[in-house]
């Protein structure tokens, strides 16, 4: 039975297909995006450290979640860049602007991670 917007409920086969596409996206990002590989390597080091250093569940979620946010934004930035490259390598002001904004979004996510880590761990180290 469809919902009010006409969407059919997700069946296990559709969920499996969506999972496959998501894993394919992660694989493609790993294979083709050096920034994503670097950020994954940093995540693999920092996430266990954040889990260990967090004093409670909320702190652990914030420390690890801020790192996951960086990966999410990097994936979106890579998707933007891939779509722009699909249309050609010639310079266009709007293409450049979109790529710069995607890069800025990654930088803001990294700044967020640094602020979260500093706000949670900083008082422990400087007091």
Give me the catalytic one of 74, 81, 85, 90. Answer: 74
2, 17, 39, 98, 99 from 79: Cα distances, Å? 31, 19, 16, 11, 10
Query: Can 85 be counted among the known catalytic residues?
Result: no
- Structure token pair of residue 90: 């010639």
Q: How far apart are CA 72 and CA 126, in angstroms?
A: 31
Q: What is the chain's length?
A: 127
| DSSP calls for 104-118 | HHHHHHHHHHHHHHH
17, 38, 42 from 23: Cα distances, Å? 10, 18, 20
DSSP helix/strand/coil, 77 = helix
Q: Would you please indicate which residues are annotated as catalytic (active-site) residues?
A: 74
């Amino acid at each position: 039975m469809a919902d009010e917007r006409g969407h059919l409920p997700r069946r296990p086969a559709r969920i499996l297909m969506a999972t496959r596409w998501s894993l394919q996206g992660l694989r493609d990002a790993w294979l083709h995006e050096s920034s994503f590989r670097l950020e994954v390597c940093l995540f693999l080091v920092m996430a266990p450290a954040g889990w260990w250093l967090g004093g409670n569940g909320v702190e652990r979620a914030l420390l690890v979640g801020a790192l996951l946010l960086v990966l999410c934004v990097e994936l979106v930035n890579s998707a933007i860049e891939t779509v722009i490259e699909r249309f050609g390598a010639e310079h266009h002001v709007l293409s450049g602007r979109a790529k710069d904004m995607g890069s800025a979004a990654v930088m803001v996510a990294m700044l967020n991670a640094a602020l979260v880590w500093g706000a949670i761990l900083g008082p422990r180290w400087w007091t």
